[in-house]
Amino acid sequence: MQMERGAEKIAVIGLGYVGLPLAILLSKQYAVTGYDHADNRIAELQNLNDRSGEVTSKELSDAFLLFKSSKGNIGLQVTDNPDTIAHSTIFIIAVPTPVDKSNLPDLSPLKAATELVARHLKKGDLVIYESTVYPGCTEEVAVPILEQVSQLTYNRDFTVGYSPERMNPGDKQRRLADIVKVTSGSNVEAANRVNNLYASIIKAGTYLAPSIKIAEASKVVENTQRDINIAYMNELSKVFTAMDIDMKEVTKAAATKWNFLPFHPGLVGGHCIGVDPYYLIHRSMQAGYEPNLLKSARVINNSMGDYVASRMLALLAKKQIDASTARVLIMGIAFKENTADIRNSRVVELINQLIASGVAVDIYDPLVDALAVSESYGLTCLDKLGETVKYEGIIIAVPHAIFDDFTYGQFLKPLSVLFDLHGIVSGYPSDGSL
């Protein structure tokens, strides 16, 4: 059963990489209020600018115009005024769920968003969580807050759903509507309501999980699986480098077997693969089981920034280039290719380790917001590369497509090192890769 167009009034809490594309897609069929506590974020969106690059100016403009032309029956409005969400019947929470300095779950954004929604919760309302959490978090942490603040009763006065986000930042082929959506609800009625809502906007279809806990677990498993597989390749890269064996040639040969999984070594950052495993590790430890494989994968992947720095220093020394007087260009600081997303970028550790070793470092990434890099990491990005500047070394840290045809020789001194982590360069000799 498909949900009737415009039947629900929806509030999306958190307008970041997850919430904004969701609000845009929903606004084509429903009246959507997008809320974010950051007034500068709201101002940017009202000026048709999404700094994440996930939503175009036209998509924003069309959504806003639809809201005005339909007199608020469908379309999108954005606000930093929490009272504006009061009329909503469905609240979707899509706020960050990071980890703290000890790699323990930091649920403060989730709790704050839950309290905000609870102050406006009414009988018959539905609250859906998209934020990545550990299994049990929605019912054990969020629901008690909803009940306490609203003074309403769970599964009698209001219901809850969980539908984990599956956004892939920078991917223009697999957008929100093209990815199957896992859904769940706190009872049969809620589960159907959640599923029908997403089925009305997701072309790829939905999968209704048997429970909220299963839906929560499926999300952390998706990203933890990738973390483990990349950790395996990162360790192999270290092993084969020590043996003076070309890792890329090894994986090419292995890939001729039909069931070989094509993972590659690299710097594992971002808000999913580099964070979600800690939520599962935390919950597993609470349950009395120590997940050694999960923990080992995190240790390996977290070591790669320092490892790449040490490899670069070794390559410089091999060519008798003094690191203390060397100038090295880092190409890419986003956490992955073809995106502006700098959250939890492991390139930062590489940069800081080189700086600590006396290397002068320049950073170039035309996709990212330089102000955001400065505010988040205290580092400065070049607006453009100087035509006459020559470097003792270049590290291609992030394989953005725009770097594929870059003329690296133009910016390297005759005696220099090109460290191409992902092997994207053709037509110019590389001194190393992972």
Q: Report pLDDT for 1.
A: 44
pTM score of the predicted model:
0.93
Report how far residue 298's alpha carbon sits from residue 279's, in angstroms, rounded to the nearest whole number: 12
- Looking at the structure, do residues 164 and 187 belong to the same domain, yes or no? yes
CATH number for the domain spanning 346: value is 3.40.50.720
332 in a structural domain: yes
The reply to whether 432 falls in a domain is: no
Q: Report d(CA 381, CA 264) in Å as an integer.
A: 27
Mind telling me the catalytic residues? Answer: 272
Residues 24 and 145 in one domain: yes
What domain count does the chain have? 3
Span 27-51, mean pLDDT? 95
Please tell me the predicted confidence (pLDDT) of residue 428: 87
Q: Are residues 114 and 18 in the same domain?
A: yes
**101 and 199, same domain (yes or no):** yes
Task: Provide the CATH number for the domain around residue 285.
Answer: 1.10.1040.10
Same structural domain for residues 372 and 410?
yes
What pLDDT score does 51 carry? 86
- pLDDT the model gives residue 5: 55
Half-sphere exposure of 75 (CA within 13 A, CB side): 15
Q: Assign 4 a pLDDT band (cuts: 50, 70, 90).
A: low
Residue 375 lies in domain? 304-420
Question: Which of 210, 231, 255 is at the close of a domain?
Answer: 210
Looking at the structure, tell me whether residues 161 and 142 fall in a common domain: yes
Do residues 333 and 377 share a domain? yes
Q: Which of the four pLDDT bands, split at 50, 70 and 90, describes residue 131?
A: very high
Strands 9-13 and 31-35, bridge-based pairing: parallel
Of 260, 277, 300, which closes a domain? 300
Residue 386: inside a domain: yes
Give the mean pLDDT of 344-365: 97
Could you tell me if residue 427 is inside a domain?
no
At 386, the pLDDT band (50, 70, 90 cuts) reads confident
Same domain, 81 and 144: yes
In terms of domains, do 197 and 252 share one? Answer: no
Q: Looking at residues 191-207, what average pLDDT do you find?
A: 97
Q: What is the mean pLDDT of residues 328-334?
A: 97
The tens digit of pLDDT for each residue in 55-91 reads 999 999 999 999 999 999 999 999 999 999 999 999 9
Please state, in angstroms and rounded to a whole number, the distance separating the CA atoms of residues 1 and 38: 37
pLDDT tens for 252-310 read 999 999 999 989 999 999 888 999 999 999 999 999 999 999 999 999 999 999 999 99
Residue 141 located in a structural domain: yes
| CA atoms within 13 A of residue 19's CA, in its CB half-sphere | 28
Residues 286 and 336 in one domain: no
> Edge to edge, what strands does the sheet with 412-420 contain?
360-364, 327-331, 391-396, 412-420
Same domain (yes/no): 204, 248: no
Answer yes or no: is pLDDT of 426 > 90: no
What's the pLDDT tens digit per position in 249-262?
999 999 999 999 98
Read off φ and ψ for residue 310, nearest 5 degrees: -65, -35
Q: Report residue 244 as tokens.
A: 């003076």
Same domain? For 290 and 319 the reply is no
Predicted pLDDT at 3: 55
Domain boundary among 281, 300, 319: 300
Q: What is the pLDDT of residue 201?
A: 97
Tell whether 434 is covered by a domain: no
Residue 269 lies in a domain: yes
Does some domain include residue 142? yes
**What is the average pLDDT value for the chain, to the nearest integer?**
95
